[in-house]
Chains A and B, each alone.
Chain A
Amino acid sequence: MSKGLKIVVLVKQVPDIEKVRFDYEKGRLDRSSAEAVINPFDLNALEAAAQIKEKIGGVVTVVSMGPEQAEDALRDALARGADEAVLLSDLRFAGADTLATSYTLSCAVRKLGAFDLIVCGEKTIDGDTAQVGPEVAEFLGIPHVAYVNEILDVSIAEITVKSRLDKDNYVVKMCFPGLITVTKDANVPRLPTLKDKLRSRKAEIAIWGVGDLTSLDEKQFFGLQGSPTWVARVFAPTSGKKKGQIVEGTPEEKARKVAEILIKLGASQ
C-alpha cells in the first residue's frame, strides 16, 4: 500500500437551497428549479480529508450515489482536493431510503478495498436525516464519531476529534479504520484553484452500477426494493419541552427513585 492514509469522502449532490422552489402541489422540492451543488456539509468533509492528506499524505477518493448529473458534483470535489471519484449510478439504486443508500455506499467502499478513514457530512440540506454516515459505519462494522467539529490530531493509525452532542463537547480518539461525520464548524472549505479546476474537468470518473457492487441475488437490498421506510406524511414536529426532575436523597434512594420513574415511563423494566 502507498504511504499515507486511504480516505474515502461520501458526497451527495443536492439542489442549491438558495434557488430551489417547493412544489406545493406535489409536496416536495422541485429539483428541476435549481442548479445542483455539493451538499454544503460535504464540502467540510472534503476539506477535512484534504487537510488530513496534506498532513499525513495519502489518497482521497470521493463516492457519490445519484443520477448521472451527480458527476458534476464529483468533478467539483476533484477540484477541491479529491484525487479519485466513483459515481454509483443505476436505475436500480433509485428510490433508496437511508438504509438502502447506506448499504449501497458501504458496498462501494468495500469494493474500493482497504481504507483508513471515511469522512461524511453531518447531514444533507435536502434529506436532513444525518443517518447515512453512522449507517455506513454499521454496515462496514467499523467505529464512527458523528458531529465532529474539530480534528485535534491525526496520525497514520488513529484520529482524535472533538464531537459536539447537545451542549457538550466530547474528545474521542478512534483507531483506523473508522468513520467521522463533520459539522460546519470543523473548517472553512477551500476554493478550488484554476489548475485543479481544469484538471478535474479532464479526470476520469468510474461509474458503478448494481452489477459492479454485488452478485445479483442481493439486488433486493438496493433502491426502492431495499427501502423499508414508508413516508406517510411530512410535517414539522411541534417542539416538545424537555422536563427535568431533580431526585434527592442518599445515593441508594436516588437510584431507586430514578429506576421507579423509568419503569413508570416504560423506559425500563
Chain B
Amino acid sequence: MNVSEDALAQELVSIVGKEWVVTEREYMLSYLQDETPEPVRPKAASNLILVKPISTSEVSEILKTANQARVPVFPVGGRTGLVGACVPTEPGVILSLERMKRLEIDRDNLMVVAEAGATLGDLLRACDEAGLFFPPHPGDEGAQVGGLIATNAGGVRAVKYGVMRNYVKGAEVVLATGEVLNLGGKLIKDNAGYNLLHLVIGSEGTLCVITKATIRLHPKSEHSVTVVVPFNGRHEALQAVQKILLSGVVPLAIEYVEPDEINLSAAHLNEKWPVQAGRAQLLIILNAESEEELLVACEKLSAACSEIGAGEPVLAETREEQDKVLRIRSNIYTALKPQLVDILDVTVPPSNLGDLMDAVERIAAKHGVHLPVYGHAGDGNLHVHVMKEEGKASDYVAKVKKEIYEAGVRLGGVITGEHGVGAIRTQELTTATDEKELSLMRGIKRLFDPNNILNPGKVIT
C-alpha cells in the first residue's frame, strides 16, 4: 500500500459518502468470511476497509484510487462461496455491491438486466412475478448476481439449460484502472472478436468487477414435477442417469443422494424425506407444457430406471411438496457442515461418474474414513465430503483430497466443476493444469490487472 489507511478511507468517503465506508472491524465481521468450511477457510487480513458504492461510476472511482495507490481490492458478493474466493486475505479494500441491486425485466427479449448486488432470491422472485423463469439454482439464495457470474455457478437445474455461462449475454464491468467496459449485450449471437465476456465469467473477482449483467430467461413452464427414484446400489443409480438421458427425457436436474445424508438434512430441517427405500436415490426435476407431457416423460424415465431394477418412483407435484424436496436436498451441506472439513466438486464426463464413485470408495477404505457423497449426477459433478474423524481433521485430509483430485483428473475430469479455485485450491490448480495453459492464464491476469490489485492470491498465483 502506497498510502496510509486513514488517507485511503478519506478518499473513499469522498467517493461514496461517510455512511458507506466502514473501518471498524466489529462492523465488518460478516464480510471477512464465506461459507467455506471452517477447517480450510482462509483467515482475513487486518487493516481492511469495507466500501459500499451505489453506482458504476463510484465503483470506477474506487478502483482508480486503489490502483493508483496499489491497494488490493476484494470484490464480495453474498459470501456464499465455498473456496474462500471472496475472503480479503491481504490488507486492502472490501468492495461490496450490495446496494446495487436493481432488476429490470425485459419480457420481449426474455432477458433481465440485473445489477451485480441483486441476490439470487431477488432474481428468482422478480422472474416469477413476471411469469418468467431463471433455471440455475446454486443452493444458497443469498448469492448475488456478481458472485454467480464470477464463479460461473451451476447448481441443481443445469442438466437441461446449463450453468451461468449459458445465461449471461452481456456484462458491464469495471477494470482495475477504473475503465468501464460493456461486453456482449441482448444478443443471441455475437462473434465480434475474442469473447472477453466468457473470460470474465468464472474469473472469481481476479480480472474485473462486474457491475451489471444481461441474463437470459425462459418462459415459466406451467407444469413441473419432482421424482424420487430409489435404487439398490450406487452403481445402478449412476447407470440410470445415462439411460434416462438416452431415453430422450431431458430433466432440469438429476441429483444423486444417499439415505444417510438426505435423512440427516431432513432431520436438521425438522422434516421427513419422502422415500426411505434404496441405498441410493435419484432426484429428478422435470418441466413441461402440460400434465400429459410430464406424465409421458415420467413413464419413459421410469421404464429406463426399471431396466436396472429401480424401485417405484415417487412424485412430488404441488409447489409445496416440490419446494420441500429441493429444500431438503439443498440443505445436505448445512447439515453436514459441523463435521465437515472440505467439500469437493470434482467433475468428470458423466459416464465416468461410476468409476469416480468406485475410486472414492477405495480411497475411503484405504484411509479408513467416511466420505459422504451426493451431487449433480446429470452433470458428472460429485460432491465428496471430507469429514472430521472423531471430531478432528488430521493428516489424512491432505492425502484423501489429493487422491480424489488425481482420480478425477485420471478419469478425464477437473478438480472443480462449480465452486472454483478461490484461495484454497491454487496449489491443486497448478498441479493439475498444463504449464503452458497456466502461463497463458497468468498473462491474461497481467493484461487485465497489471498491478495485481484485484483479489490477489486467488485462482492464479
Interface of A toward B, CB cutoff 8 Å: 16, 18-19, 37, 40, 76, 188, 190-195, 197-198, 201
Say whether, besides A197-B295, A198-B299, A192 and B315 are in contact (CB < 8 Å).
Answer: yes
B272: chain A residues at CB < 8 Å are: 188
| Nearest CB on A from B225, distance (A) | 9
Q: How far is the CA of A193 from the CA of B315 in the complex (A)?
A: 6
Say whether, besides A188-B272, A190-B274, A195 and B318 are in contact (CB < 8 Å).
Answer: no
| Nearest CB on A from B275, distance (A) | 8
| Nearest CB on B from A182, distance (A) | 16
What 14 new A-B contacts, CB under 8 Å, besides A191-B315, A192-B314?
A40-B320, A76-B317, A188-B272, A190-B314, A191-B228, A191-B274, A191-B321, A192-B315, A192-B317, A193-B313, A194-B299, A194-B313, A198-B295, A201-B295
| Nearest CB on B from A258, distance (A) | 42
| Nearest CB on A from B325, distance (A) | 8
Q: Is the CB of B316 within 8 A of A194?
A: no
Interface of B toward A, CB cutoff 8 Å: 227-228, 272, 274-275, 295, 298-299, 302, 312-321
Q: How far is the CA of A201 from the CA of B319 in the complex (A)?
A: 20
Say whether, besides A16-B319, A19-B319, A37-B318, A194 and B312 are in contact (CB < 8 Å).
Answer: yes
Q: Is the CB of A18 within 8 A of B320?
A: yes
Q: Is the CB of A191 within 8 A of B319?
A: no
Dominant secondary structure at the A interface: mixed
Q: How far is the CA of A198 from the CA of B313 in the complex (A)?
A: 12
- What are 8 A-to-B residue pairs whose CB atoms are below 8 Å? A16-B318, A18-B320, A40-B320, A191-B316, A192-B314, A193-B314, A193-B315, A194-B227
Dominant secondary structure at the B interface: mixed
Q: Is the CB of A197 within 8 A of B312?
A: no
B274: chain A residues at CB < 8 Å are: 188, 190-191
A76: chain B residues at CB < 8 Å are: 317
Chain A's closest residue to B314 (CB) is: A191
| Nearest CB on A from B151, distance (A) | 31
Chain A's closest residue to B274 (CB) is: A191
Q: How far is the CA of A201 from the CA of B228 in the complex (A)?
A: 20
| Nearest CB on B from A36, distance (A) | 11
Chain A's closest residue to B301 (CB) is: A194
Q: How far is the CA of A191 from the CA of B298 in the complex (A)?
A: 15
Q: Is the CB of B319 within 8 A of A18?
A: yes
Most buried by B among A18, A190, A194: A194
A193: chain B residues at CB < 8 Å are: 312-315
A37: chain B residues at CB < 8 Å are: 318
| Nearest CB on A from B53, distance (A) | 37
Q: How far is the CA of A16 from the CA of B318 in the complex (A)?
A: 9
Q: How far is the CA of A261 from the CA of B375 in the complex (A)?
A: 67
